[in-house]
Structure 1
Amino acid sequence: DLLLGGGYVRELNRLLEVFRLDDRARLRSALCERFGMTEEDYGNLKFHIRRAGYSDGAEGMLEAEGFTPKSDSGRPVEEHGYWRRQYIFVAATLPAGGKGSAAARWINGSHLHKAKRELEPEWVQVNATNKRETLCGIVRESVCQSDSERILVFVNSVAAADQVAALLEDAISSSASGGSARVLRYHRDIPTDDRKSAIETITREGNVILV
């Protein structure tokens, strides 16, 4: 959410610049292939020619003063740069002021900040000595009651996620009341493909716990 509020403008700009660098590299590769050049040849071109290629693609380079390609395959190259793409930022909450991307179009769903009638909140007060036992008890009870439960457990660090996931795995495997569930982990140290698989699993299957 802070990315949208302006608190991390420099970090956000660095991230976007990484995207742009990758896009420019793809465009440069396509231009080199069309004009029979190597990456080194392209880098040795005059600045205004390279800029024309980044801005207006192959046609821009052909129109640039002083550019005479050794060959031209005529293969189409996207003329306005691969990096002219749309970025979508998704957040649970949106800041009311101080938006870091003033030109962005802000889209709010009809259920923004509205309680869902299908959900019944239940608050359980815990302390440092009983919070683990309480969590395990709630999860075990939910798993035993239904074979289609989907449970999300939120924690505040990678280490906590691994600890809680291991705790729940032990609690479920040692439960004498029956019931079983898969415990999946979702945090920055989990490979992207595994995180994607975890989301697909909890969307598709029942009795899945995502930490």
Structure 2
Amino acid sequence: MLFIDCQVFDEADMLLCGSFQNQVIRLINMFRHDEKLLSWTSQSTADNASEVDLETLPQDALEQDEESPNDASQDDDEEIESLSEEEELEEGNEDGVSVQKKGWRRVLKPYDRSKQYIFVAATLPANGKRTAGAVLKRMFPDARWVNGNYLHRHNPRLERKWFEVTVDSQVDALIEAVKHGVESETSDSNDVSRTMVFANTVEAVEAVAKILERAGIECYRYHKDASLEERAGMLDDFREKGGIFVCTDAAARGVDIPNISHVIQADFATSAVDFLHRVGRTGRAGQHGVVTSLYTESNRDLVSAIREAEKLGRPVETAFSRKRGFRNKLKKRSKLQFASQ
């Protein structure tokens, strides 16, 4: 039997929230199963674990010791976040079986860990009990937290440009930003020019690409509707030849293209977390970069929160804690009007 003693979870904030959360936590519980058996069966004195016959204990009972968040269908975020830890234990889950689960937790909680779990993320929100950071703190209360100096903060190597646009000015502002970026990059360096242009939806990516092509600017299209082979080919070409890379947030995580000097938000990000991942594509490994953000009136509140945090030298976490209704409103209203041009 192969014993795995170290598990690494990349993009941990995405894996431990939303629709991924329950499945990933179940996977962690599976990894912990043999840890528990090894620990409990090796105990020589009678303690909490001696109250249980481990050989006859069902798998479900073992998993109840771990985090088991409810599905995403929850009440308003503020109501969830207002619950104290004590209230959370008393409330249990939606099926009303909290008494039984508390009993299992009292008996099964203690065990010696024999595996190492490493969770890696560029952003790790901890506001609210269902965020990735809060989940990790409950599951691994003794974990060691390691982070860089600029976690959730303004990167001083980035030059930020902010432009509030309207339906009438949006297209011209985009074309000017792309052309200006290309001209400045080619004049300042002998290296190839690389610019990433972000839009929020597949439809917006296609619309932006068509506008740029009509303006005589060739570009790549990168989104989920392209096959894995097509996306891999585009990444290789962009890495080698440079150019304009129009994409959704599918390219904001887990894609390492060196020497990207310019990131343009044709659509402003729908959350501060997505914003940080987008701008993190440039200014990497000690280099400098430029970020041009186009935003509309519907994005103004989020932009103000991000800029205020940067101005005060504080983490952008202050912009994380937005009501679900606010986020949904942004998602609906911030779809780029390029499609109608």
TM-score by length of structure 2 reads 0.33
Question: 2:154 aligns to what?
Answer: 115
Amino acid at match of 2:211: L
Question: 2:211 aligns to what?
Answer: 167
Q: What is the Cα deviation at residue 89 of structure 1?
A: 5.7
**In 1, Cα distance between equivalents of 2:211 and 2:245:** 12
Q: What is the Cα deviation at residue 107 of structure 1?
A: 4.8
Amino acid at match of 1:158: V
Q: Percent identity?
A: 26
Larger radius of gyration: 1
Q: Is the 8 A contact 1:5 1:95 kept in 2?
A: no
**In 2, Cα distance between equivalents of 1:191 and 1:87:** 30
Q: Describe the shift of the 1:3–1:141 C-alpha distance in structure 2 as closer, same or farther (beyond 3 A).
A: closer
Q: Give the number of the structure whose residues are more often strand, by fraction.
A: 2
SS of the residue 1:117 aligns to: coil
Q: Is the 8 A contact 2:205 2:246 kept in 1?
A: no
Please list the CA deviations of residues 59-86 of structure 1 after superposition, one character each: whole Å capped at 9, or x if unmatched. xxxxxxxxxxxxxxxxxxxxxxxxx997
Q: What is the Cα deviation at residue 122 of structure 1?
A: 1.4
TM-score by length of structure 1 reads 0.50
Please list the CA deviations of residues 72-124 of structure 1 after superposition, one character each: whole Å capped at 9, or x if unmatched. xxxxxxxxxxxx99785645x21124234443666533432233333211112
**In 1, Cα distance between equivalents of 2:174 and 2:215:** 10
Moved over 6 A (4+): 15-18, 84-87
**In 2, Cα distance between equivalents of 1:110 and 1:194:** 37
Q: What is the Cα deviation at residue 139 of structure 1?
A: 0.9
Q: Is the 8 A contact 1:168 1:183 kept in 2?
A: yes
SS of the residue 1:129 aligns to: coil
Q: Is the 8 A contact 1:151 1:207 kept in 2?
A: yes
Q: Which runs of 5+ in 2 are unaligned?
A: 1-10, 28-58, 60-114, 187-191, 248-341
Amino acid at match of 2:21: L
| 1:73-152 equivalent positions in 2, closer than 5 A | 90-91=121-122, 93-97=123-127, 98=129, 99-101=134-136, 102-103=138-139, 107-147=146-186, 148-152=192-196
Of residues 234, 239, 246, the one that matches 1:203 is 239
Q: Is the 8 A contact 2:208 2:246 kept in 1?
A: no
Q: What is the Cα deviation at residue 145 of structure 1?
A: 3.8
Q: Describe the shift of the 1:87–1:199 C-alpha distance in structure 2 as closer, same or farther (beyond 3 A).
A: farther
SS of the residue 1:138 aligns to: helix
Q: Is the 8 A contact 2:14 2:20 kept in 1?
A: no
Q: Describe the shift of the 1:85–1:113 C-alpha distance in structure 2 as closer, same or farther (beyond 3 A).
A: closer
**In 1, Cα distance between equivalents of 2:152 and 2:237:** 27
Q: Is the 8 A contact 2:182 2:193 kept in 1?
A: yes
Q: Describe the shift of the 1:170–1:107 C-alpha distance in structure 2 as closer, same or farther (beyond 3 A).
A: farther
**In 1, Cα distance between equivalents of 2:117 and 2:234:** 26
**In 2, Cα distance between equivalents of 1:4 and 1:140:** 34
Q: What is the Cα deviation at residue 154 of structure 1?
A: 1.6
Q: What is the Cα deviation at residue 16 of structure 1?
A: 7.8
Please list the CA deviations of residues 171-200 of structure 1 after superposition, one character each: whole Å capped at 9, or x if unmatched. 125xxxxxxxx4112221122233233334
Q: Which runs of 5+ in 1 are unaligned?
A: 19-50, 52-83, 174-181
For this pair of structures, how many residues does the alignment match? 141
Q: CA RMSD in A?
A: 3.9
**In 1, Cα distance between equivalents of 2:149 and 2:162:** 26
Q: Is the 8 A contact 1:4 1:95 kept in 2?
A: no
**In 2, Cα distance between equivalents of 1:15 and 1:134:** 42
